Chains A and B, each alone.
Chain A
Amino acid sequence: MLRRARGHAQAARPRSASLMVIVLAAVSLASLIAASAATAARQARAAASTSFAAACGTKHVTLTGYFETGFPDVTELTSAFTKQYPNVKWQVREDPFATITQDAALTLGGPNPPDLMRLPTISSLVKDHLLKNLTPYYNLYHWNKFPASQLAQLRTSPSGVGVGSGPLYAMGLNYSLTGVFYNKALAAKIGMKSAPKTLAQLDALLAKAKAAGITPIEQFNGGATGGLLFPLQQLMADYGSAAQIDKWVFDKPGATINTPANVKATEHLQQWIKAGYFNSDANAVLYPQMMSNFEAGKALLIFDGDWESGNFDQHMPGKVGFFLMPPLKAGGPVAGMSAPLTYGIAANAPHAACTAYFLNWVATNPTARKINVKYGGSNPGGPTALKIPTVKPGSTTSQTLAAGGLVAKDNGDMGFIANANGSIYAEAWTPAVQKLFAGQTTPQGVLSSVQAAYKAAGS
């Protein structure tokens, strides 16, 4: 009996041990499931939360950036971000845009990709899966409230074919606009009392300046740069439309640059060249030389973008005016190249969420928007409901910002023809407009050669 009882006890012991193991396992599993559920819920909350802590955490974070040299607005923005969020520091490398263009793929695909990087055209980078798809952040931060036209240039298909639609792969730190800057003192000398209303009036002004011994237009077009594209694209928008140009820039099916309207525009540019309206050494002048010559009062006007507005307000306060390229007929639609200052997040960026938070902060935070306008001189983008920060009335920046409103009203925003693909500027446009300036090719020749290069790059 005792033996039986002992045996029973002995037999009962393993059974109770098994039971204990099962209970413990069940408890552990339950705790694990509970813990996992809690983590998932926390992650879901973080993913759904737009708070700084959810994106960047509360511990020390170092964001890495690869930025373009010579843009004080970006430096000021990163500093202000660190000031507001002291646990975020920035480690930034800067290079000229040409270097960034050549390094982009290797840097983004390398072992230490930056969190945030200034980008050239995005399509080839997307094709190689080097950029993060920003759609989750678009949804999280409600970037659908931003002007859709501003973000269009930052969208492409996941295979990198075509620009203008598809997922969002980059954001603009601000959105620039091109037009015509003029020297007020020289304008007064030739009797220019207001901005020209038509292309014919602009032609007349240029002729007056030439007759008065003033260089009508100072433009860079030397080395590997094709600065004549600025006036050329404005003329193309006059003779055609911004929408037609965008079709070509965004690689829409059947789009061609070689249209009758663009031939007329290029012929108009050729007339300006033949009339001697440009600085005679344009084919040897680079951008910085153009700026220093214009700032030294050596020319009536330059075709350029609003990224120089802040510079003019600082170094030539009250002396530089701005007008949009006048249309063919008075009251016609106005247009301007409107390009985002494109920044993207590397596909393997270590702090993608925090970087996306920064991008949203740049577009929405009042301090950031003020910095963007003050140092960049450009439209800070962001929700349409947010007002653009006010600037000093009469300043060059105030004029370029006001012009942005006019262009938006006429749907005149257009992408830059130099950005249609990664090689079109260096391989086709630059040699073509340099040849046009030197009388080595015809307007038809310019457009044919560029279209051939465009087709070759797309094939």
Chain B
Amino acid sequence: MSEEVMVTSRRELRAGRSTLRARRGVARGYAGWVFLAPAMVAYGMFVLWPLITSIRYSLYNWDGVSTPHWVGLHNYATVFSDSTLLSVIGHSFQLIIYFSLIPVTLGLIVAALMRRVVTGKLGTVARTVLFLPQVVPLVAAGIAWNWVLSSNGALNQILSAVGLGGITRAWLGDFTFALPAVGVIGVWVLLGFCTVLMLVGMSKIDPALYEASQLDGAGPIREFFSITVPGLRQEIGVCVTVTVIAALSAFDIVYISTSGGPGTQTMVPGLEIYQLAFYNREVGLASALAVVLMVLVLICVLPIQWFVNRGGRQ
């Protein structure tokens, strides 16, 4: 009898413990949602809702004030058939060279050099100088670059001083060089970001690998390609992702430096969306272009992420 009571009480105790554990688990689950809620609300309000609204607007012909008229996919057809809008999308792909390819490549090289050569106080100063563009407001930077690239700006003065006066021009007003000139501003802005990220990544690479490779007789270049670059796979992935997005959705640098001119040589989707919505008051078409731009960004960025993550798992 007493044994039966003991067994029963043990069972009850076990059951009670598991109930308590379950309750604690449920409470912990709720607590997680409570902590997550503010971020989710903000994300919903400022990302998801505007996204849904943009998709909805893109199906209407609307000037932003009067009654909208349903036009279905007509705005998307315009985006893909209007040669000006297509060339605008093309410009942002050209900007990938300047905003992504050059800063990431240069960032890798500069970080490798700084790790080996520029150390101590000089290294700190170099890191600060390179990272400074990330701190300076882009509007101020854009105005300063306007001065640098103007017909009597610093760049042309330097070129004239070294005997290259023949190639000087108003760079931002030149049909051939305006887009590359805007790209140079992008390189200046993003190089520091990439360099600092690469330096942080390099500090995580096991020094024993470098020692081992040196013992095996590897030179700096072999070391760079066999240890540094593979070790920075994740950092390179982040840099490429961020800079490609910066290129495709560029607005501020272009708006301040050229406003899309001369002609439409530096017009990019971000600026075109702004002009369509606020000057032409074609909110539907602007929204359609914005949705297309978002899809383009995803098409470019998702494979990069997949490649980086797959590499990480291997």
Residues in B whose Cβ lies below 8 Å from that of A105: 63-65, 281
The verdict on A130 contacting chain B, using a C-beta distance below 8 Å, is yes
Considering the chains assembled together, what is the distance between the CA atoms of A347 and B258 in angstroms? 36
Residues in B whose Cβ lies below 8 Å from that of A438: 174-175, 262-263
CB-CB contacts below 8 Å: A131-147 with B? none
Our pick among B64, B65, B172, B281 for the contact of A222 (Cβ within 8 Å) is: B172
Q: Please give the distance in Å from B99's CB to the nearest CB on chain A.
A: 20
Considering the chains assembled together, what is the distance between the CA atoms of A306 and B262 in angstroms? 27
Q: Please give the distance in Å from B172's CB to the nearest CB on chain A.
A: 5
Q: Which of B64, B170, B172, B263 has the most chain A CB atoms inside 10 A of its CB?
A: B263
The verdict on B260 contacting chain A, using a C-beta distance below 8 Å, is yes
The verdict on A275 contacting chain B, using a C-beta distance below 8 Å, is no
Interface window among B117-125, B159-167, B272-280: B272-280
Residues in B whose Cβ lies below 8 Å from that of A31: none
Closest chain A residue to B256 by CB distance? A223
Our pick among B65, B66, B170, B275 for the contact of A281 (Cβ within 8 Å) is: B170
Q: Please give the distance in Å from A344's CB to the nearest CB on chain B.
A: 15
Residues in A whose Cβ lies below 8 Å from that of B305: none
The verdict on A116 contacting chain B, using a C-beta distance below 8 Å, is no
Residues in B whose Cβ lies below 8 Å from that of A427: 275, 279-280
The verdict on A328 contacting chain B, using a C-beta distance below 8 Å, is no
Q: Which of B172, B173, B259, B260 has the most chain A CB atoms inside 10 A of its CB?
A: B173
Q: Please give the distance in Å from B167's CB to the nearest CB on chain A.
A: 14
Residues in A whose Cβ lies below 8 Å from that of B174: 283-284, 438
Residues in B whose Cβ lies below 8 Å from that of A423: 279-281
- Is the Cβ of A281 less than 8 Å from the Cβ of B261? no
The verdict on A10 contacting chain B, using a C-beta distance below 8 Å, is no
The verdict on A101 contacting chain B, using a C-beta distance below 8 Å, is yes
Residues in A whose Cβ lies below 8 Å from that of B260: 223-224
- Is the Cβ of B64 less than 8 Å from the Cβ of A106? yes
- Is the Cβ of B263 less than 8 Å from the Cβ of A434? yes
- Is the Cβ of B151 less than 8 Å from the Cβ of A281? yes
The verdict on B264 contacting chain A, using a C-beta distance below 8 Å, is yes
Our pick among A106, A109, A221, A223 for the contact of B258 (Cβ within 8 Å) is: A223
Q: Please give the distance in Å from A289's CB to the nearest CB on chain B.
A: 8
Q: Which of B149, B150, B262 has the most chain A CB atoms inside 10 A of its CB?
A: B262
- Is the Cβ of B261 less than 8 Å from the Cβ of A223? yes
Considering the chains assembled together, what is the distance between the CA atoms of A101 and B149 in angstroms? 29
Q: Which of B258, B264, B278 has the most chain A CB atoms inside 10 A of its CB?
A: B278
Q: Please give the distance in Å from A234's CB to the nearest CB on chain B.
A: 22
Considering the chains assembled together, what is the distance between the CA atoms of A236 and B63 in angstroms? 33
The verdict on A124 contacting chain B, using a C-beta distance below 8 Å, is yes
- Is the Cβ of A284 less than 8 Å from the Cβ of B170? yes
The verdict on A285 contacting chain B, using a C-beta distance below 8 Å, is yes
Considering the chains assembled together, what is the distance between the CA atoms of A445 and B225 in angstroms? 53
The verdict on A280 contacting chain B, using a C-beta distance below 8 Å, is yes
Residues in A whose Cβ lies below 8 Å from that of B261: 222-224, 283, 430-431, 434
Our pick among B151, B171, B258, B281 for the contact of A280 (Cβ within 8 Å) is: B151
Q: Mark B252-294, 1 if CB is under 8 A from A, else 0.
A: 0000001111111000000000010011110000000000000
Q: Please give the distance in Å from A284's CB to the nearest CB on chain B.
A: 3
- Is the Cβ of A431 less than 8 Å from the Cβ of B263? yes
Q: Mark B116-152, 1 if CB is under 8 A from A, else 0.
A: 0000000000000000000000000000000001110
CB-CB contacts below 8 Å: B224-262 with A? 258-262
Q: Mark A120-132, 1 if CB is under 8 A from B, else 0.
A: 0000100110100
Residues in A whose Cβ lies below 8 Å from that of B258: 222-223
- Is the Cβ of A128 less than 8 Å from the Cβ of B66? yes
- Is the Cβ of B65 less than 8 Å from the Cβ of A426? no
Residues in B whose Cβ lies below 8 Å from that of A280: 151, 169-170
Residues in B whose Cβ lies below 8 Å from that of A112: none
- Is the Cβ of B173 less than 8 Å from the Cβ of A222? yes
Residues in B whose Cβ lies below 8 Å from that of A435: 175, 262-263
The verdict on A18 contacting chain B, using a C-beta distance below 8 Å, is no
The verdict on A196 contacting chain B, using a C-beta distance below 8 Å, is no
- Is the Cβ of A284 less than 8 Å from the Cβ of B150? yes
Closest chain B residue to A99 by CB distance? B278
Residues in A whose Cβ lies below 8 Å from that of B280: 422-423, 426-427, 457
- Is the Cβ of A281 less than 8 Å from the Cβ of B279? no
Closest chain B residue to A425 by CB distance? B279
Closest chain B residue to A284 by CB distance? B173
Q: Which of B65, B66, B171 has the most chain A CB atoms inside 10 A of its CB?
A: B65
Our pick among B63, B66, B172, B264 for the contact of A284 (Cβ within 8 Å) is: B172
- Is the Cβ of A128 less than 8 Å from the Cβ of B65? yes
The verdict on A282 contacting chain B, using a C-beta distance below 8 Å, is yes
Residues in A whose Cβ lies below 8 Å from that of B262: 222, 283-284, 431, 434-435, 437-438
The verdict on A390 contacting chain B, using a C-beta distance below 8 Å, is no
Our pick among A101, A223, A282, A457 for the contact of B259 (Cβ within 8 Å) is: A223
Considering the chains assembled together, what is the distance between the CA atoms of A426 and B277 in angstroms? 13
- Is the Cβ of A422 less than 8 Å from the Cβ of B281? yes
Our pick among A103, A130, A221, A283 for the contact of B65 (Cβ within 8 Å) is: A130
CB-CB contacts below 8 Å: A267-282 with B? 280-282
Considering the chains assembled together, what is the distance between the CA atoms of A224 and B258 in angstroms? 7
The verdict on A165 contacting chain B, using a C-beta distance below 8 Å, is no
Considering the chains assembled together, what is the distance between the CA atoms of A44 and B208 in angstroms? 95
- Is the Cβ of B170 less than 8 Å from the Cβ of A431? no
CB-CB contacts below 8 Å: A403-445 with B? 422-423, 426-427, 430-431, 434-435, 437-438, 440
The verdict on A102 contacting chain B, using a C-beta distance below 8 Å, is yes
Q: Please give the distance in Å from B150's CB to the nearest CB on chain A.
A: 6
Q: Please give the distance in Å from B3's CB to the nearest CB on chain A.
A: 79
Residues in A whose Cβ lies below 8 Å from that of B173: 221-222, 281-285
Closest chain B residue to A102 by CB distance? B278
CB-CB contacts below 8 Å: A97-121 with B? 101-103, 105-106, 109
Q: Mark B169-193, 1 if CB is under 8 A from A, else 0.
A: 1111111000000000000000000
Considering the chains assembled together, what is the distance between the CA atoms of A128 and B66 in angstroms? 6
Residues in A whose Cβ lies below 8 Å from that of B64: 105-106
- Is the Cβ of B281 less than 8 Å from the Cβ of A281? no
23 sampled A-B residue pairs with Cβ under 8 A: A102-B278, A105-B65, A106-B64, A124-B63, A128-B63, A128-B65, A128-B66, A130-B65, A222-B172, A222-B173, A223-B258, A280-B151, A281-B173, A282-B173, A283-B262, A284-B172, A284-B173, A426-B275, A427-B275, A431-B262, A434-B261, A438-B174, A440-B175
Known: A221-B173, A222-B173, A283-B170. 12 other contacts (CB 8 A): A105-B281, A106-B64, A222-B258, A223-B259, A224-B261, A280-B169, A281-B150, A282-B173, A284-B173, A284-B262, A427-B275, A427-B279
Mark A residues whose CB is within 8 Å of B: 101-103, 105-106, 109, 124, 127-128, 130, 221-224, 280-285, 289, 422-423, 426-427, 430-431, 434-435, 437-438, 440, 457
Of all A-B residue pairs in the complex, the 5 with the closest CB atoms, nearest first, are A284-B173, A283-B173, A284-B170, A281-B170, A102-B278
